[in-house]
Every structure is written in C-alpha cells, then in structure tokens.
Amino acid sequence: MSVSVRSVLAQNDQRIRLLEAHDHNSIEAIRDGISNDGQSFQGIWISGLTQTTYLGLPDTELISPLRRACLIVSSDNPQEKNLRPLCAVYDADSGGDVADIPQLVASLENRGVSMIIIEDKSVFEPGNKVNSLGDTSGLQGQADMYAFANTIRSFRSAAAQTEMMITARIESFTVRAVKKTEAEEKASIQGALREALKRAKVYRRAGADAIMIHSKSASPDEVLSFIRKFRSSDTSTPLVVVPTTYSKTTEDVLYDAGANIIIYANHLMRAKIGAIAEFSDKYLAQKPDLFAQDAELSACLKARNFGCLLRKLDERSYLDEDAKWYRLVAEERAIDNMSVVVKCLLDGKRSGGADTRIVSVKELLKINARQICVVE
C-alpha cells in the first residue's frame, strides 16, 4: 500500500526521510527497518542511477523517463494486507520528451508514486546526460530556466487532478567547474547560490510544489546557504536534499536549517553490490567458468554489476545446480546486508552511517557507466 508524500509530510511535522529502492527485496528492507529509537524511513526513492544500474544501462537518459517508469517495481504487495505503507518519489531526470509527460504522470500515479523530481540540466538527446556526482558534471550545463519553467508547467498541468507533487531539482552547484584559486572558488560558489535562488523563484511561480537543491561538495555549506537564504523569504515550500557527498552531516542539521525531505539516494544498490561482490569473488575463484557460456551474465560479472546480474539470474528459465546455488546465496547476502544498512542509516541519522558495508559512490558510478543490456 502506498500513501502520498503530502499526507506523510503532514503526519510527520514536515520532516521525512526516504531511501533508495530498486526491487521488491530492497522495498521490504525499507518497510521493515526500525532504528533503536523507533525511527523508520517513510518512503522510497526510485533513483535514475540505481534503476539504470539494475537494468544494465548507463545513467545518461539513454532510456527515457517514461520507459523507466513502466519498469519500476511497485511498493505495493497485493499478497499481504497489513504492511506499513510507504510513499514513493520518482527521479525523472530532465523530464524527457514533453509529449510523454501526460502518460508519464499517469503511469507513475498508477504505480503509487506521488512526487516527481525533474532536474534542470540541458539534455539535448538520449544518452547526453551526465550524472550530477560524476567528475565531468561541470561539462553538462543547466537548461534555460524559462524553458525549464515551461516543463514544470507541463508536469503541473498533467498532474492537476491528482495528489502528485512536482519538484524542481536545481543543479547550479553541481554544474559549476571548480576554480583554481580560493578567491575564484568562493566567487563561483556565491554565483551559483545566486543563480539557484533565482531559479527557485522562477520554478515556484511556474507551479513547482517543492524545490530540491543538489550539491556534490563534501561540505554541507552550499546546501545550507541555499536553504537559509530561501527560507528567509519562503517558509512553507518543501525543500528536498540529498546528502550523498556531505555524508557526515546529520539529519538534524539539515532539518533545523529548513529541509523537509532527506533522500538517501543510492545506498541499497551499493549494499547489494558490496555483499554479492565479497561472496562472488570467493566462489568464482573456485568455479571461474560458472557463467562463461552466457554472454550477458559474463558481461555483468566483468562490469561487477551484481545488481543487474541477480536480476538476470532470476530471469533465466534454466540454471544448473551451481548457478542456482550462486543465485540463492547471492540473494541471501544481498537481503541481509540491505537490512543491516537500513538500520545503520536510521541509527546513524546521516548518509555516511553505513559506509563500511557498502561500495563507494565512485565505484557505483564506474559500474553504472558500463552498458550491459540493449535499450528495448
């Protein structure tokens, strides 16, 4: 059962946390996770980075937001009636083709999603997007803010008769290039802050229900500066943050500054890959040819994309006994580690709370960059 982000915010004093999910097991780990002080995640984040990793595709908008939406796993479980409900938020990249927006919104609503986040990057063609946390994110550039405002209007119009919230994701900090001198760097950050605040006003006037501010800095200063400036003139619009890189910053620091939604954006895919990698390396040292006759499975192994590998193993109609055992143990290790990571994040109350149990973001980006599957 899913619930709306609006209702969950209202029930939790306008402060909620979400965690990335990419399959049924990750969703159930989130649903079941409880911290030592009784805290839990209120919903799931359907990440473009981890969903494309799961699909064996790079996170470049090679596959459209609409096509990805049709492939997401629902947070509902029709076999069980009394499950804790979760809200769901969808990473829609740059929004995709304007003509697809009505169908995209309808498709997501049917799957229990109640917030769509679209980013203001300039993506001119499929495969052109650069991940915000990548080393080359400064080469991407932002979309024209007024053209992007029109995209927001199209989403808002398509969602007019629904509870769907449309969130504008501002990339002013992630697309800027790091400067050589301290003075130049300070001026660049201040310029990005002014640009982000200007865009936030334009996007709100265009109908955005919430604003997400993104940063790839190891310090929270960029995000905190934006939140405080924004809150000086707007005390009610929900603000979304994703503390992947400023991972030592606690939730309370972000909430107290004025954030409403904290997203732990890629942790369960990183947990799955880390757990399976450790087992796989030991097992395949004894049976190096286990998947040698299957080109797709071999490609997953070569890329160390154990998220896609486990999905592909589940799809195979026939596996020999060794492969079946590999799949069974890999899935058990993944489930166990994801469950532990959920609790570590809840107890630590910061994005870096489970770093010892998961692969790094840099490693995930490296894995994701290697295309395994074809776009259908």
Q: Which of 13, 32, 37, 59 is labelled catalytic? A: 59
DSSP 228-282: HHHHTT-SSS-EEE--SSSTTSBHHHHHHHT--EEEE-SHHHHHHHHHHHHHHHH
Strand, coil or helix: what is 330?
helix
Tokens of 37: 């002080």
Cα 100 versus chain centre, distance:
21
Strand, coil or helix: what is 313?
helix
Half-sphere exposure of 121 (CA within 13 A, CB side): 30
Crossing angle between the packed helical segments 24-32 and 267-286, to the nearest 10 degrees: 120
Give Cβ neighbours of residue 185 (< 8 Å, ≥ 6 apart): 178, 179
Distance (Å) of CA 291 to CA 282, 309, 321, 323, 327:
15, 11, 12, 8, 12
Active site residue 59: yes
Bridge partners for 171 per DSSP:
none
Rounded Cα distance between 182 and 280, Å, is 45
CB-neighbour burial class of residue 323 (10 A; exposed 0-12, middle 13-18, buried 19+): middle
Q: Which uninterrupted H or E stretch holds 153?
A: helix 145-158
Q: Which amino acid is at 99?
A: A
Cα 87 versus chain centre, distance:
14
Return the active site residues: 59
